[in-house]
Amino acid sequence: MSVGEAFLKIDGVCKAFGGVQALYEVSFSVAPRHIHALIGPNGAGKTTLFNIISGAFTPDRGSVFLDGVAIHGRPMHELVRRGIGRTFQNVELFSTMTVLENVLVGFHSRTRCGLLDAMVRWPWVGREERWARQRAMELLDMVGLANAAQRMAVDLPFGWQRLVEIARALASGPKLLLLDEPAAGLNAVETERLSQLVQKIRSLGVTVLLVEHDMNLTMDICDRIVVLDRGRKLAEGTPREIQASEAVMEAYLGKKR
Ligand SMILES: Nc1ncnc2c1ncn2[C@@H]1O[C@H](COP(=O)(O)OP(=O)(O)OP(=O)(O)O)[C@@H](O)[C@H]1O
């Protein structure tokens, strides 16, 4: 892939926490509308890299480019506006809100309405609200949870909560969606549904970068895979290339297949 084709470019990123070098000189690119996975053993640095891309952490060295623009070190809210959406390893929904309200929160970066506007209730506030509710219901329909819209989010089975989180991330209109272990805790049927959902999201023009331990899912749906090991990039390639890599088998899959 030439640099011109990269939608997300990670360039020489380093990050240390005290004496722990969580990431060292990590570089790779993600092409637009690709599904790209980041895999590696526990502590490899995957979540740290997600946190850098989404603006939670600043790299010690190196750069992150989104569509050619340097975004490292920018605040999270700006990165959401620039088109980065994410979900978390431990699902982070608002416990006192319904499913629909949780998704509506995701529209905040796209609507004009501030606290004062909401109190005054200009006519356009109502229009924005109606638009956001309609879009939120469409997103819930897309993830298969339209019927659960009025339920409290915390009352849903864990697998469904993950889908709500994806719907909320989509509400911000991302161009790049970061999914942190989306299949964790899902049963086989839910994982199959997730697989179809991620491919549908890509078909809508969204680039997807996911951290995932479920190798079947990763090998099935990803165009390319980057393998991290102890903070360094160990390998990169197509699922077939990664499966055939001796280095990956040794470091990550324990030589057995
Ligand atoms: N906020 C932090 N403070 C101190 N050390 C951290 C912090 N975040 C991550 N680390 C350390 O950095 C290294 C990489 O952690 P990270 O969570 O990025 O790995 P990971 O590949 O996501 O692991 P897992 O698969 O277990 O989630 C680990 O040694 C971890 O203990």
pLDDT value at position 252?
A: 67
Task: Tell me the CA–centroid distance for residue 13 and ligand 1, in Å.
Answer: 15
Give, using CA atoms, the residue closest to atom 26 of ligand 1: 42
Query: How many whole angstroms separate alpha carbon 136 and alpha carbon 62?
Result: 37
Pocket lined around ligand 1, Cβ cut-off 6 Å: 17, 20, 22, 40, 42-48
On the question of pLDDT at 25 being above 50, the answer is: yes
The mean of the pLDDT values for the chain is: 88
Contacts of 160 (CB under 8 A, 6+ apart): 145, 148
Tell me the CA end-to-end span of the chain in Å, nearest whole number: 29
pLDDT class for 5, splitting at 50, 70, 90? confident
Choice from 38, 47, 218, 233 to test ligand 1 binding pocket (greatest atom count within 8 A of CB): 47
Among 131, 198, 212, which Cα is nearest to 170's? Answer: 198
How far is residue 116 CA from its own chain's centroid?
32
Cα 211 to ligand 1 centre (Å): 13
* 44 vs 129, more confident: 44
Superfamily covering domain 1-83+174-257: P-loop containing nucleotide triphosphate hydrolases (3.40.50.300)
Model-level pTM? 0.89
DSSP state of 142: H
3-7, 155-159, 169-173, 245-249: which range is least confident on average? 3-7
Mean pLDDT value of segment 237-244:
93
Q: State whether the Cα torsion 190-196-200-202 is positive or negative.
A: positive
Predicted pLDDT at 204: 94
**Is the pLDDT score of 92 beyond 70?**
yes
Residue 205 and residue 83 in contact, taking contact as beta carbons nearer than 8 Å = no
Who has greater pLDDT, 78 or 110?
78
Question: Using 50, 70 and 90 to split pLDDT, how confident is the model at 211?
Answer: very high
Per-domain residue ranges of the chain:
1-83+174-257, 91-172
pLDDT at 3 over 50: no
- Ligand 1: residue of 26, 46, 209, 232 to mutate (most ligand atoms within 8 A of CB) is 46
pLDDT digits (tens, 9 = 90+) for 141-189: 999 999 999 999 999 998 889 999 999 999 989 999 999 999 988 889 9
* Contact present, 227 and 252 (Cβ < 8 Å): yes
| pLDDT surpassing 60 at residue 229 | yes
User: How far lies 145's CA from each of 109, 141, 183, 195, 226, in Å?
Assistant: 23, 6, 17, 16, 32
Within this chain, domains 1-83+174-257 and 91-172 share the same CATH topology: yes
Q: What percent of the chain has pLDDT over 90?
A: 69
CB 169 within 8 A of CB 177: yes
Q: Which of 78-87, 192-201, 221-230, 248-257 has the lowest mean pLDDT?
A: 248-257
Query: Ligand 1, atom 9: nearest CA belongs to which residue?
Result: 48
Q: Does domain 91-172 have CATH number 3.40.50.720?
A: no
The pLDDT assigned to 129 comes to 78
Taking the C-alpha atoms of residue 23 and residue 10, their distance in angstroms, rounded to an integer, is: 12
Phi, psi of 140 (to 5 degrees): -65, -35
Interval 214-225 mean pLDDT = 94
What is residue 257's predicted lDDT score, i.e. its pLDDT?
43
CA of 233 to the centre of ligand 1 (A): 15
What DSSP character marks residue 149?
T
pLDDT digits (tens, 9 = 90+) for 93-133: 888 899 999 999 888 765 555 555 555 455 555 677 788 89
